[in-house]
Structure 1
């Protein structure tokens, strides 16, 4: 099939893993352009919280292309967690809700759902802060995440 697809110019749809990398890079660039520090460190998750505070209202950047931006923010958050604690993305390209259900399995065995967390941060405000979420994973909070808390 791949030979015929190549022969007839049929393009392969990117995998979720490829989409995550593209979205992560896109949102990091956009954040930097907009004056936010997006250096993929745990500390940069404070900037993600600041972005949510400043851009969630009417006329803010999250008032447009919200789905794409939340997916990108989730991809960025997941990347920071992987870089900080070790781990890898868990994706299912067959899942119709795959963009929402992408997860990160950390090296300690914990599973976290960064895109869902970005959506919760947008919906619930600072009570679902991103920095505290990420920082807690470095301590005993990782055990709670492993118990099914998304």
Structure 2
């Protein structure tokens, strides 16, 4: 999936997931804690990562979209070196030019547990520009 397709894909994921559950996936910074908790729930259920890879991808993509809407990031296609480094095709670029990998962060949370946090990642973003309202 390319950077240009991420917003539509995330919107579809949120629609699908919230139609079945009352998850507060409202693109707020607080909703990143929900991403951490959902990831913990998947981890606690005991499946192998490859069996929940699709869900982990979309949870990470949702987190990236929160970064876009709340911190001034933009979706970018990673170059070959970044793809090798991050293990992903896309990520987000902050206004200061730094790139981040929220999809990979969710995968790390699944493997490592609470020592990794998507919500904490948000607070560590350099170059964050506060956004008044979701775009």
- Tell me if both proteins adopt one fold, taking TM over 0.5 as the criterion: yes
Partner of 1:90: 76
Q: 2:107 is matched with which residue?
A: 119
Q: Quote the Cα distance in structure 1 between the aligned partners of 2:95 and 2:89.
A: 19
State how far apart, in whole Å, the 1-side matches of 2:54 and 2:8 are: 11
What does residue range 11-90 of structure 1 map to in structure 2 within 5 Å?
A: 16-32=2-18, 33-58=20-45, 65-90=51-76
Aligned to 1:101: 89
Q: 1:133 and 2:125 equivalent?
A: no
Flag structure 1 segments of 5+ consecutive residues without an equivalent.
1-14, 144-150
Aligned residue pairs, count: 123
Structure 2: gaps (5+ residues): 128-135
TM-score, structure 1 length as denominator? 0.67
Runs of 4+ that moved beyond 4 A:
62-65, 92-95
Counterpart Cα distance in 1 of 2:123 and 2:52: 25
RMSD: 2.8
Structure number with the bigger relative contact order (C-alpha 8 A, sep ≥ 6) is 2
- The verdict on how the C-alpha distance between 1:65 and 1:22 changes in structure 2, with shifts beyond 3 A counting, is farther
